Amino acid sequence: MDWENGELGDGREGNRAWYVIHTYSGYENKVKANLESKIASQGLGEEIFNVVVPLETVAEKKEGGKEKTVKRKVFPGYVLVEMIVNNRSWYVVRNTQGVTGFVGSEKDPIPLTPEEVERILKNTEFEKTPPAVKYKIGDKIRIKSGWLEDQIATVTQIDTDEKSVRVEVNGKSVDLDFTDVEKV
């Protein structure tokens, strides 16, 4: 499923669906960053797919009558997460710093309906979550291109902001783009 191409998780395929998590007020972006970091470092890309803080652009009047456009959170105190709920993913999300819980019962989060997700995502702006990382620190990967093509390396660092990975290959550290490596 790919929400950017109109395919929205509804909980029917492997329990993949969109959930709402409650955060401390003002911690939405921090929770998003912390969760994306955990997804990358713990290899959760096959369980937690997208993390979104919906935004809207509004005009605000400032002193002197001037208007300024600003981006504002649509749902302050909430973050949307597309994921498969299982013991591991639930634990990771629930224990991310700044998260106070899922919307729904504590042990059984309630997914958004496909209609709700479509309405929210089509009517708001958001920063795109980096592509899901399908490996974690310590994994063996194969380099797909460049002067080290077909070399096997070990992942030592993952940078989701730069969409790069640092690997150890032949005793040297090398930074590579996500698209230049694949899991062995």
Give the domain CATH number at 97.
3.30.70.940
How much is the pTM? 0.61
Give the chain's domain count. Answer: 2
Tens-digit pLDDT profile for residues 8-48: 344 434 578 999 999 998 899 999 999 988 888 888 888 99
Tens-digit pLDDT profile for residues 69-87: 878 888 899 999 999 999 8
Looking at beta carbons, which pairs linking 158-165 to residues 24 or more positions away fall under 8 Å?
158/40, 158/41, 158/133, 160/36, 160/37, 160/39, 160/40, 160/130, 160/133, 161/130, 163/130, 163/131, 165/133, 165/135, 165/141
The residue range of the domain holding 59 is: 3-122
Say whether both 20 and 105 belong to one domain: yes
pLDDT score at 79 = 93
Looking up residue 162, the CATH number of its domain turns out to be 2.30.30.30
Say whether both 152 and 104 belong to one domain: no
Residue 130, in any domain of the structure: no
Say whether both 46 and 105 belong to one domain: yes
Say whether both 113 and 147 belong to one domain: no
For residue 132, pLDDT beyond 70? no
Residue 128, in any domain of the structure: no
CA distance 100 to 132: 24
Pairing mode, strands 164-169 and 78-84: unpaired
